Amino acid sequence: MIGEIGISAEPHPDELTVLQAALLAQEATGAPITIHVTTIRPVSALLDFLERSGRPLDRIVLGHMDYDLRTLAPHRRALQLGLTVELDLFGYPAWTNANFLHFPTDSQRISALMQLASEGYADQLLMSHDVCQKMQLTSRGGFGYAHIPAHVAALFEALGAPPDLYHRLGVATPRRLLCWDRADGITSATRGGSPR
């Protein structure tokens, strides 16, 4: 993948220049792009920028979209533009400050994914646990790298998620994004081939 391309809470012009370069690299290679947003605050400006680019957006992942789920309006707009939206802070040990003031629980994340999937966006959604700090490791008391299969999978069932949703979010959509042919940008999954 190309990225993560970082976008600050107040997007800096240099960050948008880097994103423009990533879009050019994607055009040349077919590789997917992943974008890191710092809170939900920059999403509107970021989506304006991507929409103005006039490029296909279906191979761009907008990560960290679960800092705040009180409204799903920015998520819906990204999905309507064709992006893939990722809720990837499952199990994150958040603390109370500006970035994490309205941080959701894992159950709230699943409920949001279920809602968006019910609106027809199931194949544009991803889930993950962004293990990026020592305190997230099991050796330091965190949930570790196995949190989603070990704990979150059961929550999908407990919350009444459609039986195939967990698989679509964790297997089918990643396969679509990651199995691409450099020559033409067409995924092997699209052609019916097996993942590489």
Residues in CB range of 99: below 8 A, 6 or more apart: 9, 38, 39, 67
Q: Give domain status of residue 45, yes or no.
A: yes
pTM, two decimals, is 0.88
| Residue 137 belongs to domain with CATH number | 3.20.20.140
The Cα–Cα gap between 194 and 187 comes to 10
Which of 82-91, 93-102, 131-140, 165-174 has the lowest average pLDDT?
Answer: 93-102
Q: Give domain status of residue 34, yes or no.
A: yes
Check: CB of residue 151 under 8 Å from CB of residue 168.
no
Q: Could you give the strand order of the β-sheet that contains 60-63, starting from the edge strand earlier in sequence?
A: 2-7, 33-37, 60-63, 84-87, 125-127
Q: Give domain status of residue 126, yes or no.
A: yes
Confidence of residue 183 (pLDDT cuts 50, 70, 90): low
pLDDT at 95: 74
Q: Give domain status of residue 39, yes or no.
A: yes
Stretch 72-77: mean pLDDT, rounded? 98
Q: Give domain status of residue 196, yes or no.
A: no
Q: Where are the beta strands (DSSP E) in 58-189?
A: 60-63, 84-87, 125-127
> Cis (ω within 30 of 0) for the bond into 86?
no
Residue 172 exposure: Cα atoms within 13 Å on the Cβ side: 12
The Cα–Cα gap between 130 and 91 comes to 9
Stretch 82-96: mean pLDDT, rounded? 90
Residue 39 tokens read as: 């809170």
Domain that includes residue 78, residue range: 2-191
Report the domain count for the chain: 1
